[in-house]
Amino acid sequence: MVDETEYTFDDYTKIAKRNHDVKPTVKDGFAISGELTLRVLRKDGSVEEEKLPNLIVNGAFNYLPQLLVGNTNARINTMSVGTGGWDHELGVPKLVMPSDGALFNHYQSGIMTYYGGSPPEGEVEGIQWRTEPQRHTPGHPEYSPFIGIATYAYTFDCKTDTAHINESALFVSDGTMFSKRTFPARVLSFGEFLEIVWEIGVTRF
Protein backbone atom coordinates (compact mmCIF):
# COMPACT_ATOMS: atom_id res chain seq x y z
CA MET A 1 0.00 0.00 0.00
CA VAL A 2 1.36 3.34 -0.99
CA ASP A 3 1.83 5.88 1.77
CA GLU A 4 0.17 9.04 0.45
CA THR A 5 1.63 11.28 3.13
CA GLU A 6 3.39 14.36 1.76
CA TYR A 7 6.75 14.02 3.45
CA THR A 8 9.35 16.74 3.35
CA PHE A 9 13.08 16.30 3.30
CA ASP A 10 13.23 17.29 6.95
CA ASP A 11 10.63 14.60 7.73
CA TYR A 12 13.02 12.03 6.31
CA THR A 13 15.82 13.51 8.37
CA LYS A 14 13.69 12.97 11.47
CA ILE A 15 12.90 9.42 10.36
CA ALA A 16 16.57 8.71 9.85
CA LYS A 17 17.48 10.21 13.19
CA ARG A 18 14.76 8.18 14.90
CA ASN A 19 15.91 4.99 13.21
CA HIS A 20 19.62 5.49 13.68
CA ASP A 21 19.99 8.00 16.47
CA VAL A 22 22.24 10.21 14.38
CA LYS A 23 23.80 13.07 16.28
CA PRO A 24 22.79 16.50 14.98
CA THR A 25 25.44 18.88 13.80
CA VAL A 26 26.37 21.47 16.36
CA LYS A 27 24.93 24.94 15.90
CA ASP A 28 27.53 27.46 16.88
CA GLY A 29 29.02 30.59 15.49
CA PHE A 30 31.12 33.66 15.78
CA ALA A 31 30.75 36.29 18.49
CA ILE A 32 32.32 39.66 19.29
CA SER A 33 32.37 41.54 22.54
CA GLY A 34 34.35 44.52 23.81
CA GLU A 35 35.40 46.44 26.85
CA LEU A 36 37.35 49.60 27.50
CA THR A 37 39.76 50.56 30.25
CA LEU A 38 39.70 54.22 31.28
CA ARG A 39 42.90 55.55 32.87
CA VAL A 40 43.03 59.11 34.14
CA LEU A 41 46.62 60.31 34.45
CA ARG A 42 46.70 63.11 37.06
CA LYS A 43 49.28 65.86 37.34
CA ASP A 44 50.46 64.47 40.67
CA GLY A 45 51.31 61.16 39.02
CA SER A 46 48.33 59.24 40.35
CA VAL A 47 46.30 57.00 38.05
CA GLU A 48 42.58 56.23 38.29
CA GLU A 49 41.51 53.13 36.34
CA GLU A 50 38.21 51.42 35.57
CA LYS A 51 37.10 48.73 33.09
CA LEU A 52 33.70 48.89 31.43
CA PRO A 53 31.91 46.73 28.85
CA ASN A 54 30.84 48.41 25.63
CA LEU A 55 27.85 48.14 23.33
CA ILE A 56 28.57 47.07 19.76
CA VAL A 57 26.20 49.25 17.77
CA ASN A 58 24.23 48.49 14.62
CA GLY A 59 26.86 50.09 12.38
CA ALA A 60 29.09 47.12 13.12
CA PHE A 61 26.35 44.81 11.85
CA ASN A 62 26.57 46.59 8.52
CA TYR A 63 30.34 46.78 8.49
CA LEU A 64 31.24 43.16 9.17
CA PRO A 65 29.11 41.58 6.38
CA GLN A 66 30.66 44.13 4.00
CA LEU A 67 34.08 42.99 5.14
CA LEU A 68 33.20 39.32 4.65
CA VAL A 69 31.73 39.82 1.19
CA GLY A 70 34.80 41.85 0.23
CA ASN A 71 33.08 45.17 -0.44
CA THR A 72 35.36 47.05 1.92
CA ASN A 73 38.76 46.90 3.54
CA ALA A 74 37.98 49.70 6.00
CA ARG A 75 39.38 49.20 9.52
CA ILE A 76 38.61 50.38 13.01
CA ASN A 77 41.17 53.16 13.41
CA THR A 78 39.54 56.07 15.26
CA MET A 79 38.67 56.57 18.89
CA SER A 80 36.61 59.52 20.07
CA VAL A 81 35.54 60.97 23.39
CA GLY A 82 32.68 63.33 24.16
CA THR A 83 31.03 65.37 26.86
CA GLY A 84 27.35 64.63 26.20
CA GLY A 85 27.00 61.20 27.80
CA TRP A 86 25.42 62.26 31.09
CA ASP A 87 21.67 62.48 31.68
CA HIS A 88 21.41 65.51 34.00
CA GLU A 89 17.72 64.96 34.64
CA LEU A 90 18.07 61.36 35.83
CA GLY A 91 21.58 61.70 37.17
CA VAL A 92 22.89 58.65 35.29
CA PRO A 93 24.89 58.04 32.12
CA LYS A 94 22.71 58.28 29.02
CA LEU A 95 21.53 54.98 27.61
CA VAL A 96 23.54 53.85 24.60
CA MET A 97 21.22 52.54 21.91
CA PRO A 98 22.13 49.99 19.21
CA SER A 99 21.03 52.56 16.62
CA ASP A 100 23.53 55.20 17.82
CA GLY A 101 25.92 56.35 15.11
CA ALA A 102 27.67 59.27 16.79
CA LEU A 103 28.67 60.62 20.17
CA PHE A 104 26.14 62.85 21.92
CA ASN A 105 28.63 65.74 22.04
CA HIS A 106 32.00 65.19 20.41
CA TYR A 107 35.07 66.56 22.20
CA GLN A 108 38.16 64.97 20.63
CA SER A 109 39.18 62.17 18.25
CA GLY A 110 42.39 60.30 17.66
CA ILE A 111 43.51 58.15 14.75
CA MET A 112 45.42 55.02 15.72
CA THR A 113 48.11 53.22 13.74
CA TYR A 114 48.47 49.49 13.22
CA TYR A 115 52.12 48.52 13.77
CA GLY A 116 51.84 44.93 12.60
CA GLY A 117 52.50 43.60 16.08
CA SER A 118 53.79 45.45 19.11
CA PRO A 119 54.07 49.24 18.84
CA PRO A 120 57.50 50.90 18.98
CA GLU A 121 59.09 51.00 22.42
CA GLY A 122 57.54 53.64 24.61
CA GLU A 123 54.52 54.01 22.33
CA VAL A 124 51.26 53.22 24.06
CA GLU A 125 48.92 54.37 21.31
CA GLY A 126 48.03 52.21 18.37
CA ILE A 127 46.46 48.93 17.33
CA GLN A 128 47.67 45.50 18.36
CA TRP A 129 46.17 42.08 17.99
CA ARG A 130 46.81 38.53 19.11
CA THR A 131 45.19 35.16 18.52
CA GLU A 132 45.40 32.26 20.92
CA PRO A 133 43.18 29.40 19.76
CA GLN A 134 45.27 26.92 21.75
CA ARG A 135 44.31 28.66 24.99
CA HIS A 136 40.68 28.60 23.88
CA THR A 137 40.44 24.90 24.72
CA PRO A 138 38.48 23.70 27.73
CA GLY A 139 40.85 22.45 30.39
CA HIS A 140 43.79 24.54 29.22
CA PRO A 141 45.69 25.76 32.31
CA GLU A 142 45.64 29.33 30.94
CA TYR A 143 42.21 29.12 29.38
CA SER A 144 41.15 32.18 27.40
CA PRO A 145 37.49 32.73 26.56
CA PHE A 146 38.61 34.50 23.40
CA ILE A 147 40.23 33.16 20.26
CA GLY A 148 41.56 36.60 19.40
CA ILE A 149 41.76 40.07 20.90
CA ALA A 150 42.41 43.37 19.15
CA THR A 151 43.56 46.26 21.33
CA TYR A 152 43.02 49.91 20.41
CA ALA A 153 44.73 52.52 22.57
CA TYR A 154 44.74 56.30 22.49
CA THR A 155 45.61 59.05 24.98
CA PHE A 156 43.47 62.18 25.02
CA ASP A 157 44.72 65.43 26.52
CA CYS A 158 42.71 68.25 28.03
CA LYS A 159 42.72 71.14 25.61
CA THR A 160 40.67 73.45 27.82
CA ASP A 161 40.75 74.50 31.49
CA THR A 162 38.59 71.51 32.36
CA ALA A 163 36.84 68.78 30.42
CA HIS A 164 34.05 66.47 31.59
CA ILE A 165 34.60 63.35 29.47
CA ASN A 166 31.66 60.97 29.85
CA GLU A 167 31.36 59.05 26.57
CA SER A 168 33.62 57.30 24.10
CA ALA A 169 33.32 55.35 20.86
CA LEU A 170 35.32 53.38 18.31
CA PHE A 171 34.90 54.18 14.63
CA VAL A 172 35.77 52.44 11.37
CA SER A 173 37.85 54.51 8.93
CA ASP A 174 34.78 55.08 6.73
CA GLY A 175 33.05 56.86 9.63
CA THR A 176 30.88 53.95 10.79
CA MET A 177 30.55 53.74 14.55
CA PHE A 178 31.52 50.27 15.82
CA SER A 179 31.01 50.43 19.59
CA LYS A 180 30.17 52.98 22.27
CA ARG A 181 30.03 53.52 26.02
CA THR A 182 28.85 56.27 28.37
CA PHE A 183 30.10 56.64 31.95
CA PRO A 184 30.27 59.07 34.89
CA ALA A 185 32.44 62.02 33.90
CA ARG A 186 36.19 61.89 34.15
CA VAL A 187 36.98 65.51 34.99
CA LEU A 188 40.31 66.52 33.49
CA SER A 189 42.22 69.71 34.15
CA PHE A 190 44.58 71.27 31.66
CA GLY A 191 47.72 69.11 31.56
CA GLU A 192 45.97 65.87 32.55
CA PHE A 193 45.29 62.92 30.28
CA LEU A 194 42.70 60.23 29.68
CA GLU A 195 44.15 57.02 28.28
CA ILE A 196 41.64 54.56 26.84
CA VAL A 197 42.53 50.97 25.98
CA TRP A 198 39.68 49.33 24.08
CA GLU A 199 39.72 45.56 23.61
CA ILE A 200 37.57 43.77 21.06
CA GLY A 201 37.49 40.01 21.56
CA VAL A 202 36.28 37.33 19.16
CA THR A 203 35.13 33.89 20.17
CA ARG A 204 32.42 31.33 19.41
CA PHE A 205 29.10 30.83 21.12
Partner 1 sequence: MHIYDGDWMSFFGTVVVEVDDGTGDVLTHTTHNRITNSCIEYIFKRMVFEDVVHPVSIRLGNGGRGPSSYNPKTDTALPTPDDMSDIYNPILSPKPAVRTRDGASVLYTIVEPWVVPYNPISERQNVNEMGLYFGSFLAAHTTIVDLNYLISERKRHGRWLSGTYTDEHYVNVTWKFTFGRRSDQAGGFMIGGDVV
Does the footprint of partner 1 cover residue 101 (CB under 8 A)? no
Out of 42, 43, 47, 68, the residue judged to bind partner 1 by CB under 8 A = 68
Phi/psi for 87 (5° steps) reads -90, 105
- Residues 174-193 close enough to bind partner 1 by CB under 8 A: none
CB of 33 to partner 1, least distance (A): 5
Does the footprint of partner 1 cover residue 42 (CB under 8 A)? no
Contacts of 205 (CB under 8 A, 6+ apart): 28, 29, 30, 31
Taking CB under 8 A as the binding criterion, the range among 50-58, 79-87, 159-167, 182-190 that sits at the site for partner 1 is 50-58
**Residues found in the chain:** 205
Residues in contact with partner 1, shown as a per-residue x/- string from 80 to 99 under the rule CB under 8 A: ------------------x-
Do residues 153 and 198 lie in contact, with contact meaning Cβ atoms separated by under 8 Å?
A: yes
Q: How far is it, in rounded angstroms, from Cα 191 to Cα 182? A: 23
Question: In terms of C-beta density within 10 A (0-12 exposed, 13-18 middle, 19 or more buried), how is residue 132 classed?
Answer: middle
Contact positions vs partner 1 (CB under 8 A)? 2-5, 7-10, 12-13, 15-17, 20-33, 35, 53, 55-56, 60-62, 64-71, 73, 75-76, 98, 114, 116, 127, 129, 131, 133, 136, 145-150, 199-205
